[in-house]
């Protein structure tokens, strides 16, 4: 008898897990239902940096557009968020009122951008202020491009000098902005590089015309009607029209927490990506963590990564991605 497989999250790991299941004859074994709270098919999130810089268009980065789901008899609830799992009756409950039964469940809810506490980040309504951006989704990227291309917006501050921050800085510069990166670490990409590598990277980034402020913490985003700058912990102020926050990510574990699943740094899985103490619930991608802690981005993804040098500031960092195909130029 066919089993009902439900996947929560239609990002890189969730969709790739389904591709792998289909490649192993899963179409004959499962009725597959996916929920994704982004309003799209599956796209290559890693390539958002190239979309921001204008090297790729939105359409170029789709891995599985909506027709792919139909062609593979997958029911995709696009733009629908799952709020809760009842692991005893084996149902998932979606925000649109849908209740979906499952025999096997994969949680692939990924991560979201972390916004560190800074005065001036939020409007009185509680929403993030106009002109303050995170860099995680296609919608984030589109909004940044639109804002950056407004003729009144000429300067950007990127908070966080990790890989994502440098890619954001490079992309914003490609949109014609004057960009400064504010990084709390002693050197850029301090999680991946030592001081010498960080110094080389800084020289390469500065040679591109991007200003770098290391050992600097942003305490406030300034301006009332519109963003006018940021203030740093040492009282310095940097003028800008927009702020992009790339100060780390947090796993999306809310659905697991409210459903009584084990969560530490992420959803806790064993070596088979099975959620601890659950026979029929699995978790893949950046929402999960093994019992052994790791800060490697790719380590917990549902498939094996490959790494290759990328075109980025300094060209000395590595991009990891999944699946076949040649390295990006």
Ligand X SMILES: Cc1cc2nc3c(=O)[nH]c(=O)nc-3n(C[C@H](O)[C@H](O)[C@H](O)COP(=O)(O)OP(=O)(O)OC[C@H]3O[C@@H](n4cnc5c(N)ncnc54)[C@H](O)[C@@H]3O)c2cc1C
The site for ligand X (CB under 6 A) is made up of 8-14, 35-38, 45-46, 48-49, 81-82, 108-111, 135-136, 164, 167, 252, 255, 285-287, 297-298, 319-320
Q: Are 136 and 113 in contact (CB under 8 A)?
A: yes
Smallest distance from ligand X to CB 44, Å: 8
DSSP codes joined into one string, 139-158 = HHHHHHHHHHTSTT--EEEE
Smallest distance from ligand X to CB 318, Å: 7
Q: Of 12 and 157, which CB lies nearer to ligand X in the complex structure?
A: 12
Q: Of 192 and 228, which CB lies nearer to ligand X in the complex structure?
A: 192
48 phi, psi to nearest 5 deg: -60, -30
Smallest distance from ligand X to CB 300, Å: 8
Helix (H, G, I), strand (E, B) or coil at 132: strand
| Closest residue to ligand X using C-beta atoms | 11
Q: Of 10 and 229, which CB lies nearer to ligand X in the complex structure?
A: 10
Tokens 């390469």 found at: 204
Smallest distance from ligand X to CB 220, Å: 25
Q: Are 244 and 156 in contact (CB under 8 A)?
A: yes
Smallest distance from ligand X to CB 282, Å: 13
Q: Of 95 and 123, which CB lies nearer to ligand X in the complex structure?
A: 95
> Where does 23-182 show beta strands of DSSP type E?
30-36, 42-43, 62-64, 75-78, 82-86, 91-94, 99-101, 104-107, 111-113, 132-134, 155-159, 178-182
């Amino acid at each position: 008898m066919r089993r009902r497989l439900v996947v929560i999250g239609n990002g890189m790991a969730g969709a790739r897990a389904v591709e792998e299941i289909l490649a192993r004859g899963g179409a004959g074994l499962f009725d597959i239902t996916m929920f994704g709270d982004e309003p799209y098919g599956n796209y290559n999130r890693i390539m958002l940096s190239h979309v921001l810089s204008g090297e790729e268009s939105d359409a170029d980065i789709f891995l599985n557009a909506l027709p792919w789901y139909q062609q593979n008899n997958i029911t995709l609830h696009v733009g629908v968020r799952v709020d809760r799992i009842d692991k005893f009756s084996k149902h998932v409950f979606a925000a649109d009122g849908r209740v979906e039964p499952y025999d096997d469940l994969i949680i692939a809810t990924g991560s979201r951008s972390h916004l560190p506490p800074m005065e001036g980040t939020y409007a009185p309504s509680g929403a993030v202020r106009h002109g303050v951006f995170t860099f995680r989704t296609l919608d984030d990227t589109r909004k940044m491009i639109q804002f950056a291309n407004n003729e009144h917006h000429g300067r950007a501050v990127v908070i966080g000098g990790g890989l994502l921050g440098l890619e954001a800085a490079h992309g914003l510069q490609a949109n014609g902005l004057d960009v400064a990166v504010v990084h709390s670490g002693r050197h850029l990409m301090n999680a991946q590089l030592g001081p010498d590598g960080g110094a080389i990277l800084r020289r390469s980034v500065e040679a591109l015309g991007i200003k770098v402020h290391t050992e600097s913490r942003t305490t406030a985003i300034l301006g009332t009607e519109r963003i006018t700058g940021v203030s740093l912990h040492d009282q310095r102020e940097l003028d800008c029209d927009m702020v992009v926050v790339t100060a780390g990510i947090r796993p999306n574990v809310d659905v697991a927490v409210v459903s009584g699943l084990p969560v530490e740094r992420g959803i806790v899985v064993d070596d088979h990506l099975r959620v601890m103490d659950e026979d029929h619930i699995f978790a893949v991608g950046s929402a999960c963590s093994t019992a052994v802690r790791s800060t490697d981005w790719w380590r917990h993804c549902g498939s094996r990564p490959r790494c290759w040098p990328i075109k980025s500031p300094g060209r000395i960092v590595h991009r990891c991605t999944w699946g076949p195909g040649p390295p990006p130029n």
